[in-house]
Structure 1
Amino acid sequence: MFCPDCGTWTRASLPRCTRCNGVLPTLPARATEEPPDEELSALRRATGNRMVVVRRLGSGGMASVFLARHAVLDTPLAIKVLHPHLAREAEMRERFRREAEAAARLRHPHICPILDYGWGPGVEYLVMPYLGGGSLADAMAGRRTIAAERAAAVAAQAAQGLDYAHRHGVVHRDVKPDNVLFDEEGHAIVTDFGIASARFHARLTATGRAMGTPHYMSPEQAMGRLLDGRSDVYALGVLLYEMLSGDPPFDGADSYAVGYKHVHEAPVPIEVAAPGVPPGLAAIVMRCLAKSADERFQRADDLSDALLGFLMDRGAPELRSAWRARRGGSTPSRAR
Structure 2
Amino acid sequence: MTVLTLRTLTGRPVQILVDQEIGSGAEGVVYPVADSPHVCAKLYSDFTRAAQLGPRMEALTGLSPVLWGGDCPEHLHVAWPRTTLRDHSGQLRGVVVPRIDGTPMLRLLDPGRRADLLDEATWRSTFAVAARVGRLFDMLHGAGVVIGDVSPSNVLVDRHGHVTLLDCDGVQFTDPQTGLLHRGEKFTPEYAAPEVLDGRPLSREHDLFGLGVMICELIMEGQHPFGGVSTAQPPSESVEQNIKHHNNRVTRPDRLVPSADALTAEILPGKILDLIRQCFEEGYERPERRPNGRAWAYELDQAAYQMMGCRYNPRHAYHRSSVACVWCARIVAGYGDHFPPPADWTMPLDAPVRGGLMLAPAPTTLSTYPAPPAPVNGREAAPPAVVPSRSSKQLRTIALIALIALIVLVIIVVAAL
Instruction: Output the TM-score relative to the length of structure 2.
Output: 0.54
Q: Give the 3-state SS of the residue equivalent to 1:302 in structure 2.
A: helix
Residues 182, 127 of structure 1: alpha-carbon distance in 2 compared, 3 angstrom cutoff: farther
Correspondence for 2:248: 267
Counting aligned pairs with the same residue, the percent is 22
Whether 2:97 is the aligned partner of 1:128: answer yes
Mapping of residues 191-230 of structure 1, within 5 Å? 191-200=166-175, 202-204=180-182, 211-230=186-205
Q: CA deviation at 1:180?
A: 0.6
Contact 2:103/2:156 (8 A) holds in 1: yes
Q: Give the 3-state SS of the residue equivalent to 1:215 in structure 2.
A: helix
Residues 268, 211 of structure 1: alpha-carbon distance in 2 compared, 3 angstrom cutoff: same
Provide the C-alpha distance between the structure 2 equivalents of 1:333 and 1:222, rounded to a whole number of angstroms.
40
Residues 202, 103 of structure 1: alpha-carbon distance in 2 compared, 3 angstrom cutoff: same
Correspondence for 2:268: 278
Correspondence for 1:321: none
Provide the C-alpha distance between the structure 1 equivalents of 2:296 and 2:201, rounded to a whole number of angstroms.
21
Q: Which amino acid aligns with 1:157?
A: R
Q: CA deviation at 1:257?
A: 6.1
Residue ranges of structure 1 left out of the alignment (5+ in a row): 8-43, 318-330
Contact 1:108/1:161 (8 A) holds in 2: no
Q: Give the 3-state SS of the residue equivalent to 2:167 in structure 1.
A: coil
User: What do the CA deviations read for 1:255-281 (whole angstroms, capped 9, x no partner)?
Assistant: x96544323323111797424743344
Correspondence for 2:6: 46
Correspondence for 2:306: 313
Q: CA deviation at 1:226?
A: 4.5
Provide the C-alpha distance between the structure 2 equivalents of 1:143 and 1:97, rounded to a whole number of angstroms.
42
User: What do the CA deviations read for 1:304-323 (whole angstroms, capped 9, x no partner)?
Assistant: 11211211222699xxxxxx
Provide the C-alpha distance between the structure 2 equivalents of 1:61 and 1:332, rounded to a whole number of angstroms.
47
Rg comparison, structure with higher value? 2
User: What do the CA deviations read for 1:78-130 (whole angstroms, capped 9, x no partner)?
Assistant: 322212x3644654556555654557556252223332221226762112221
Contact 2:170/2:185 (8 A) holds in 1: no
Correspondence for 1:57: 22
Contact 1:155/1:240 (8 A) holds in 2: yes
Correspondence for 1:117: 84
Provide the C-alpha distance between the structure 2 equivalents of 1:260 and 1:284, rounded to a whole number of angstroms.
23
Contact 2:6/2:14 (8 A) holds in 1: no
Whether 2:143 is the aligned partner of 1:168: answer yes
Q: Give the 3-state SS of the residue equivalent to 1:289 in structure 2.
A: helix
Provide the C-alpha distance between the structure 2 equivalents of 1:311 and 1:142, rounded to a whole number of angstroms.
18
Q: Which amino acid aligns with 1:62?
A: E
Mapping of residues 244-263 of structure 1, within 5 Å? 244-250=220-226, 258-263=239-244
Provide the C-alpha distance between the structure 2 equivalents of 1:332 and 1:128, rounded to a whole number of angstroms.
41
Residue ranges of structure 2 left out of the alignment (5+ in a row): 71-76, 115-120, 230-236, 315-377, 382-417
Q: CA deviation at 1:282?
A: 4.0
Corresponding residue to 2:38 among 58, 76, 87 = 76
Q: CA deviation at 1:183?
A: 4.1
Contact 1:163/1:229 (8 A) holds in 2: no
CA RMSD of aligned residues (A): 3.9
Provide the C-alpha distance between the structure 2 equivalents of 1:222 and 1:259, rounded to a whole number of angstroms.
8
Whether 2:31 is the aligned partner of 1:66: answer yes
Residues 183, 246 of structure 1: alpha-carbon distance in 2 compared, 3 angstrom cutoff: closer
Q: Give the 3-state SS of the residue equivalent to 1:169 in structure 2.
A: coil
Provide the C-alpha distance between the structure 2 equivalents of 1:167 and 1:217, rounded to a whole number of angstroms.
21
User: What do the CA deviations read for 1:227-270 (whole angstroms, capped 9, x no partner)?
Assistant: 543322211111122232424333599xx965443233231117
Contact 1:133/1:186 (8 A) holds in 2: no
Q: Which amino acid aligns with 1:246?
A: G
The 10-residue stretch of structure 1 (177-186 or 231-240) with the greater mean CA deviation from structure 2: 177-186
Correspondence for 1:296: 290
Q: Give the 3-state SS of the residue equivalent to 1:55 in structure 2.
A: coil
User: What do the CA deviations read for 1:175-205 (whole angstroms, capped 9, x no partner)?
Assistant: 2111111346431112223332223353456
Provide the C-alpha distance between the structure 2 equivalents of 1:95 and 1:212, rounded to a whole number of angstroms.
18
Provide the C-alpha distance between the structure 2 equivalents of 1:332 and 1:228, rounded to a whole number of angstroms.
34
The 10-residue stretch of structure 1 (229-238 or 90-99) with the greater mean CA deviation from structure 2: 90-99
Provide the C-alpha distance between the structure 2 equivalents of 1:168 and 1:332, rounded to a whole number of angstroms.
29
